[in-house]
């Protein structure tokens, strides 16, 4: 690979004599760890050894589970990045909304007449948190509640002020989305959307 494992007499070598290598049995996953060479070389060697050993010792099912976990980690990281970016955009634009409030307002705008339970179910947030968010939006005059005749249910709709805030937040959301998929071609974006929709369907089954 062109990477020096350690050196003898100041010269890097990929295959140093055994006497030039120090070993200890305290490496990651119990694999031996070299302690010759630079710290960067040791980290790189350990990564190579660990990866090769994982492929050797893990069965197909274990390797698949490892890949699935990595996919989950990537999705979580992207979701966190998107939320953080949206939060910064909302703060900089001084809309008076935080990310969760903007998402709740968006859901109500896209689903006129929805209920608080609909938002709880879709967002995965607990009822108390959703109730607090709706209370804030009601106090600001961005949403309104309407009682359903013959039922205890109350429908939610955006007000003209809420529609205006939602429109501004959507402009910011579009900018965040474009940044997130920057570098992907049209076909890649279409394929990514198709795969994510399939994953979303799995959640609903």
Q: What is the pLDDT of residue 115?
A: 92
Q: Residue 3 CB: number of other CB atoms within 10 A?
A: 12
Distance between CA atoms of 23 and 37, rounded to whole angstroms?
Answer: 12
Same domain, 24 and 87: no
Q: What is the pTM of this model?
A: 0.60
Q: Report residue 5's pLDDT band, with 50, 70 and 90 as the boundaries.
A: very low
Percent of the chain with pLDDT over 70: 67
Residue 73 belongs to a domain: yes
Q: Evaluate the CA torsion angle 198, 199, 200, 205 in order and state its sign.
A: positive
Cα angle 108, 142, 97; round to 5? 90
CA distance 28 to 25: 9
Reported confidence tier of residue 25, pLDDT bands at 50, 70, 90: very low
* pLDDT tens readout for residues 116-137: 999 998 888 889 999 999 999 9
* Structural domain boundaries, residue 82: 64-204
Buried b (16+ CB within 10 A) or exposed e, 94-103: ebebebbbbb
Judge whether 135 lies within some domain: yes
User: For the chain, how many residues are written?
Assistant: 205
Mean pLDDT of 155-163: 95
Instruction: Point out the least confidently predicted range of 39-43, 97-101, 164-168.
Output: 39-43
Q: How confident is the model at residue 95 (pLDDT cuts 50, 70, 90)?
A: confident
Question: Could you tell me which of 107, 108, 86 has the C-alpha nearest to residue 97?
Answer: 86
153 with 88, same domain? yes
pLDDT, one tens digit per residue, over 135-149 is 999 999 999 999 888
Same domain, 68 and 47: no
Shared-domain flag, residues 92 and 115 = yes
User: To the nearest whole number, what is the mean pLDDT of the chain?
Assistant: 77
- For residue 7, the SS3 value is strand
Q: Are residues 87 and 26 both part of a single domain?
A: no
């Amino acid at each position: 690979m062109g990477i020096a494992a350690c050196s003898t007499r100041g010269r890097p070598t990929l295959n140093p004599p055994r006497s030039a290598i120090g070993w200890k049995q305290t490496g990651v996953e119990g694999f031996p760890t070299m302690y010759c060479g630079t710290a960067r070389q040791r980290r790189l060697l350990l990564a190579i050894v660990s990866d090769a050993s994982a492929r050797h010792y893990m069965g197909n099912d274990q390797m698949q589970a490892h890949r699935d976990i990595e996919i989950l980690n990537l999705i979580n990281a992207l979701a966190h990045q998107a939320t953080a970016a949206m939060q910064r955009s909302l703060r900089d634009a001084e809309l008076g909304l935080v990310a969760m409030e903007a998402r709740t307002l968006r859901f109500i705008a896209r689903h006129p007449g929805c209920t608080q339970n609909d938002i709880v179910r879709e967002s995965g947030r607990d009822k108390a948190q959703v109730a607090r968010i709706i209370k804030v939006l009601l106090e600001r005059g961005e949403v309104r509640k309407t009682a359903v005749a013959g039922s205890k249910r109350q429908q939610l709709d955006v007000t003209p002020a809420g529609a205006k805030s939602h429109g501004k937040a959507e402009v910011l959301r579009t900018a965040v989305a474009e940044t997130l998929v920057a570098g992907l071609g049209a076909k890649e974006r279409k394929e990514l959307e198709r795969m994510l929709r399939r994953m979303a369907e799995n959640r609903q089954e």
